Chains A and B, each alone.
Chain A
Amino acid sequence: MLQVENLTKVYGDGTVALKDVSFEVPDGQFLAIIGLSGSGKSTLLRCINRLIDPTEGRILWKGEDITAANHEDLRNIRRRIGMVFQHFNLVHRSKVITNVLAGRLGYTSPALSVVNRFSKRDRDQALRLLQRVGLEEKANNRSEELSGGQQQRVGIARAMMQNPEMILADEPVASLDPVLAHSIMQYLEAINRDDRVTVVCSLHFLDLVHRYGQGVIALNEGRKVFEGEPSEIDDAMFKNIYGQEAERVG
């Protein structure tokens, strides 16, 4: 169970990105976060693994207080939380397999990993994961040679390399061709269903939310404006979330 309590984030320049946000995510749920650009979705996801330090509030996960964790504890928490990014965030000049193995860094002794040494077991797992996302023959290519959809699949393999208990996905399909969106979302769905990994995923398109989300929360200007099931979002609620001028397209 992930519990977010009264989370507030104010940036150094005074921008209020999150305002008193609270919600819960049961283990194994696929939670979708929706809202306009700048509504605080990215900030919220990054507060969960403390890539961004929240200003106020608490985040509890499986009984642990993430917000109070010190440096060492935080590394141990982070390695159990995979993350998938809108811009994939692969290291372009590194090989695909190295990018996937990087997901294992939290478990690897720093001295050995610095000279690029991973155990046989890790290498085998990396290849297996590449196979799972259909890219095993690209293992030794430079990741910049891959297309956007392929890069995001490598990003998912990297997150899975952590053997995560939860995956945070920040707009995983927003910079992809819409036709590729479903293929990427299906990988996340499979991970959620087959590996029983909790997924917290921010999304733009409402049809994706209806199709994949088990729960939804909606943010508007840093405030939570909706929490419930995808089917509960009717036209009135839609206008509430996206503003009066918004039109439904999907």
Chain B
Amino acid sequence: MVDLETRPPDSGIEEKSPERSRERPRRGLWIFLGILAGFVIYAYGFHVVDVNLDRVGDPIPQQRFFNVIRALGQPDLLTYQTVDTAVDVEFAMPCPDGGFTPAPSDGAATISITPACAGPRDAVTISGGGFRDNEAINIFFVPPNGIELRVAQARTAADGTFSTEAVLPNRPDDETQTIRAKSRQNVGSIFNPAYFPTGEVDPDTGAEIMLRSPRWSQNAEATWRGIIETIFLALLATTVGTLIAIPLSFLAARNLMSDVRIPALNAGLAVVALPIGAALGYGASSAGTALVSLLPGSALLLGVVVIALVWLGLFALRLAVPLPGTDRSRPAKMIAGLGATTAFLLAAQGTVRFMEIGGSETAPALGSLSFLGTFVERSGEILALVFGVLAATAGAVALAVLASKLSYGLSKRIGHGMEMTLSVIAVGLAGAVIAMGVGQVIGWIYQMTNMTTTVVIPAIVGAVLGLALGAFGAARGQLGAGLGIYYIFRTFFNTLRSIEALILALIFVIWVGLGAFAGTLALALHTIAANGKLYSEQVESINTGPLEAIRATGATRLQTVVYAVVPQIVAPFIAFTMYRWDINVRMSTIIGFVGGGGIGLILQQNINLLNYRGAAAQMLAIAIVVAAMDWLSSRLRERFV
């Protein structure tokens, strides 16, 4: 807590008054320059974006634009079964000598041709009546072979009549020919649907399958599938991203990290221990995998083994972490802890394998719910994939903590001078280790195989830098390790956040192929960065009083976080997560434009095919889902904050 000192604000009234007269015109000049600068900036902006009203008024693009807007009002959602009504009238070509009088047509709708006969390529007028209003009519010339040739199109007026001109084809014939007017009608309506026999029989019931009219169009069904995919894409990406962002956000919170200062000796030894621990952890995980794969591939047996291992692990844990009041010797505790760790590791490996085998075994038996089995199997595969990474991380952290504890003990036993010397050496080693890691990354990127440039030189440079830092740090005794970690994670979040999810999706499409999986990975990664930053800022804005109080009780850092930080951030974290889900739903509607799956893919296809009525259905679906998410997330946020 810093004691605040209040200082009277600088008051320079006496100094200012003589200058006032000169200040007036200067301020006017500044305002003038400001307006001038604004004028230039906006003029250049107009130039760059090419603001041009000529195109807005151009009739052809304007018509296209209006068509798109109209299409939005008529989304392609329903398909109707149609029936054609045909009205025929006799016709002669060429005109017979005695003229020609067609037989009168008998139905409600009639058509007549003027003149009643004509030569090839002559123009005739076709008029009709008794049709429905505003109906599309196709006029065909039908020669004796029966093949229809369309000669004109018309639309009926409000009274059901139409009249149009047509140029006849060059098909003279001695026999009487036919002119036909066809109108096409949708059958059924939403509230009074019609059913059509398909001729196919349902194998279960034996009844004939009937086709409903109207029914959902193919476009509507594709839209439904797309929007469902979109919602779940966003859900998965938000969940995965949040789960990773939360722990990282604590490391990027300045108020938690700034006072983490570690004696130089501890820090140096811990850094050196990191890669060794990671290798050990990864090795242990691989050994566990190998050991578990020796077990028979039966899900039942695996389940039994896993339960036994968990029980064993719990038993060992109870020995390792006794409740207060029970005393146990240190080596016994350590052995029990080791046993518990091994048992839990094997149990986890067994669980992963149990999921893989059990999932694939049960999937076929579940019928339409087989996706549940597949989910378990795939989750097992994912866990198997991340298990190695997790084990390596855990191993690294565990060994670093161990090294740090060892150095505590060491620094108590050795003298101050000796500790200083050891510290400088340890930090030098740590510098070499870090620099070698960086060297490896650079070597990988530029595909360098020369060991001197990727290992030896970085090691030497790192060691020198480390020794310098160690000499400086050891003099002060402590290294600001927390701030270092804070800057690393903040930089990571800020860098990653600046890459849009759409661009990330492009990269993942290259890696895992077109589809919603690529989109999910892209959105998840973006969520980690964006929410990681938001979360850490939330952690930074907590009330520090409880933090201080819990620290004063002698709690460890982890306990302080759990008891003083977590209760304060649960509500805002939930709010941010909801908000991110909202954003991710929005993003996932367009992530399909770059191949990331979801509804964006078919929306883009429809736009490219100029099928605006199809696209309208997708836009409608997006609008509904986004609005619904918006409403839902704001309601939930209201409840939690």
Contact = CB atoms under 8 A, between A and B. Distances in A.
Contacts of B598: none
Nearest to A222: B3
Contact of B562 (A13, A43, A103, A114): A114
A89 B545 CA distance: 5
Interface in A19-76: 38, 40, 42-43, 46, 49, 51-52, 70-72, 74-76
Among A42, A77, A90, A91, residue most surrounded by chain B Cβ atoms (within 10 Å): A91
A51 B548 contact: yes
A78 B552 contact: yes
Interface stretch (A80-88, A127-135, A226-234, A240-248): A80-88
A105 B555 contact: yes
A15 B2 CA distance: 9
Nearest to B1: A42
Contacts of B324: 107-109, 119, 121-122
B10 to A, nearest CB: 18
A40 B323 CA distance: 41
Given A105-B554, A106-B553, A87 B1 contact: no
Contact of B553 (A11, A74, A88, A162): A162
B554 A78 contact: yes
A93 B323 CA distance: 27
A123 to B, nearest CB: 12
Contact of A51 (B323, B325, B546, B551): B551
A137 to B, nearest CB: 22
Contacts of A43: 1, 3
Among B2, B321, B554, B562, residue most surrounded by chain A Cβ atoms (within 10 Å): B554
Contacts of B555: 75, 102, 105-106
B549 A158 contact: yes
A87 B545 contact: yes
B553 A79 contact: yes
Interface in B302-329: 321, 323-325
Interface stretch (B65-73, B203-211, B563-571): B563-571
A94 interface: yes
B1 A85 contact: no
A111 interface: yes
A113 interface: yes
Given A52-B1, A91-B563, A85 B408 contact: no
A87 B543 CA distance: 11
B551 A102 contact: no
A105 B5 contact: no
A42 B324 CA distance: 34
B559 interface: yes
Contacts of A162: 553-554
A70 B546 contact: no
A53 B51 CA distance: 63
Given A43-B3, A109-B321, A85 B548 contact: yes
Given A76-B554, A87-B545, A93 B564 contact: no
Contacts of A122: 324
Interface string A181-195: 000000000000000
Contacts of B550: 91, 102, 105
B450 interface: no
A17 interface: yes
Interface in B123-139: none
A15 B3 contact: yes
Contacts of B568: 91-93
A75 B325 CA distance: 19
A38 B554 contact: no
A91 B546 contact: yes
A105 B325 CA distance: 15
Interface residues of B, number: 34
A110 B567 contact: no
A115 B325 CA distance: 19
B5 A15 contact: yes
A70 B408 contact: yes
Interface residues of A, number: 55
A87 B549 CA distance: 10
B545 A110 contact: no
Contact of B559 (A11, A40, A71, A113): A113
A82 B554 CA distance: 9
A48 to B, nearest CB: 10
A112 interface: yes
A114 B553 contact: no
Nearest to A40: B3
Contacts of B1: 42-43, 46, 52
B147 interface: no
B324 to A, nearest CB: 6
A109 B408 CA distance: 19
Contacts of A109: 321, 324
B3 A78 contact: no
Contacts of B543: 92
Contact of B567 (A15, A79, A94): A94
Interface in B387-440: 408, 411-412
Contacts of B408: 70-72
A119 B553 contact: no
A219 B165 CA distance: 110
A165 B404 CA distance: 30
A105 B559 contact: yes
Nearest to A106: B554
B545 A38 contact: no
Given A51-B548, A102-B563, A110 B2 contact: no
Contacts of B3: 11, 15, 17, 38, 40, 42-43
A84 B278 CA distance: 43
B328 to A, nearest CB: 12
A110 B556 contact: yes
Given A72-B408, A93-B567, A114-B559, A158 B553 contact: yes
Nearest to B412: A70
Nearest to A71: B408
Interface of A: 11, 13, 15, 17, 38, 40, 42-43, 46, 49, 51-52, 70-72, 74-83, 85, 87-94, 98, 102-114, 119, 121-122, 155, 158, 161-162
Closest 3 CB pairs of A and B: A106-B554, A79-B554, A89-B545
11 contacts: A15-B5, A42-B1, A51-B548, A51-B552, A85-B548, A88-B545, A91-B563, A94-B563, A102-B563, A105-B555, A110-B559
